Every structure is written in structure tokens, then in C-alpha cells.
Amino acid sequence: MMLTRLKANSEGKLAKQICKVVLDHFEKQYSRELGDAWSTTRDILTSPSCWQYAVLFNRFNYPFELEKDLHLKGYHTLFQGSLPYCPESVKCYLSRTPDRMPSERHQMGILKKYYLLNAASLLPVLALELRDGEKVLDLCAAPGGKSVALLQCAYPGYLHCNESDSLRSRWLRQTLESFIPQPVVNVIKVSELDGREMGDAQPEIFDKVLVDAPCSNDRSWLFSSDSQKAACRISQRRKLPLLQIELLSLWARALLCDLTILGSSLQLCESGEGSILTHRLETFQSLQLGST
């Protein structure tokens, strides 16, 4: 079966290695902030085999054979019928037990059949309720999962994918090439602009804006392979809430329509990013605040 072949091809890959510098920092911070809950959280955080990854199908190269295999393995669909907005074209599967599909390799000219992601990453995409023909901006778009998800929902009239980091921007371009066919590619623009300047430079252009602002992403950088870079990120993470505020508030001022900001964080404790974001965004009277 297709699923068996894919998993066989993924065997032999090196296991993730925990970065001691980061783990020591988490031990000090989260044992204090989370109390008894930290022990269980730590076990899951340090065990990638327990992490759950959803399988988002690509409607532009639909994997019918894989879908049958996933049903046989007990995978189930997410969100259909449980949210006010979830188009039938969005097909996302999740295993009832810890399991991870292997990623597909990028092959020039061949569209991938599925994208692996944390299922919660789809919630802000679905919250946008994208409609055909709308103009939408994905402000911090790399590696491209949310842009791909947006295109599973509808056919926008214009999709602007921005990523200020040049290396991540190349990753974004490759992701789009791997999932999106012609002529849909013709409505997509990729840029490497500073998102903090785009709101004032391009006011009232977009119907909807997705701001997946940079965050600490605790689960990801726990497995950093460079201890020096990890130590640097520990010191830099205090500045992230201010960067998030700059990105969000500029777009709040630039767009005429009333805005609902749906905030989510990949940091375990709300004492950092979440509380500062809520406090600062409350100064904008036109905003409604939600969280995931």
C-alpha cells in the first residue's frame, strides 16, 4: 500500500537530539510557571514520537489511494461539520494514536499530495473564512503551510505571501511550487519585505490579512542543533512580543474594516507573549480579541 511504501522510505533518518541549553532554560522557567503540570508537559515535549501531525490533502493532486490507506489505519477527518466555516475542499486527517507520516520530497514539476502540519495551525486559516476572489495577505508566510491551506479553502483573486527572511523565503517559494499548479500560481506574489512597513505602504488593499507573527515556538527550538544559536534565541525571545505588536498594530491601523485578531502562541506559558499582546492590543478600540 502507498502508506507502507512512504514509511519504508523514511526509515534510517536520525532521531531528533534535545538541546541541553534550551531544556535547562525550560526547566527553570516552566517548573516555576506550570508547577506540577510541567512534569507531564516535559515528557510530551521531549518525545517527538508522541507529537501529533495532521495530514492536509492537496486538492490540486488529490491522493485517493492514500486516503483509503488512512481510513484503514483509523485516521479520521478534522473540522468537517464542527466549525461554522470549513469548505468541503479542505480535507485534513489525524490519527487517533500517535503517528507521523513521512514528508514527501520536493520534485520539480510534480505536485505533492499532502502537507504535514499541526492541526491547530489550520484554525486561523479557517477563521479568515476566505471566499473566492478575495485579496489576502499572508504576512509572515514561511514555510508556506498556511498559504497552502488558504488555497485549499478558496480561489483568491490575489494572494500576497511575504517573508522577510531570505532563507525562509526560498523555502516558501519551494513549498508553493510543490503544491500549487498553473494557473493558480498566477494570482500569487511572493515578497521579502519588512512586514512592519507594509501596512502603511499598502493601505486598504487586502480584504483579509493573516499574521502568523514570529513566536518562540518552544517545541521546535528545543531540538536546535546549535547550542550557541539556541542561547542567543533565549535572550532574543523577550523581544518577540514587541515585534508581534508592531506587525499586528500596523495592520490594525492600515485596514478600514473592523478587525478580529485571533492570537495563538507556540510558547507554553501565557506570562510572556500572550499577556503582553493582549495588554497592548487592548489599546485599539476597533479590535475584537480572541485566542487559540
Q: Is 16 annotated as a binding residue?
A: no
User: What's the CA gap between 85 and 96, in Å, rounded?
Assistant: 23
133 among annotated binding-site residues: no
* Alpha helical stretches, state H, 57-179: 64-72, 122-127, 145-153, 166-179
Q: Any binding-site annotation on 141?
A: yes
212 is in an annotated binding site: yes
Q: How far apart are CA 10 and CA 31, in angstroms?
A: 35
Instruction: Read off the DSSP letter of residue 160.
Output: E
| Residue listed under C-alpha cell 506574489 | 189
DSSP 227: H
Question: What residue has cell string 517559494?
Answer: 173
Closest CA to 206 of 153, 263, 161: 161
Residue 143, marked binder: yes
In the numeric block, the cell 484503514 is attached to 72
- Dist. CA 122–CA 239, nearest whole Å: 26
Distance CA(22)–CA(9), nearest Å, equals: 31
Q: Is 140 annotated as a binding residue?
A: yes
State yes or no: 120 annotated in a binding site: no
67 is known to lie in a ligand binding site = no
C-alpha cell at 268: 507554553
Backbone φ, ψ for residue 90 (5° rounding) = -90, 110
Which residue type sits at 15?
A
CB 199 within 8 A of CB 250: yes
Going by the DSSP 8-state scheme, the letter that residue 14 receives in this structure is P
Residue 127 annotated as lining a ligand binding site: no
Give the cell for residue 232: 542567543
Name the binding residues for S-adenosyl-L-methionine. 140-146, 163, 194, 212
Name the binding residues. 140-146, 163, 194, 212
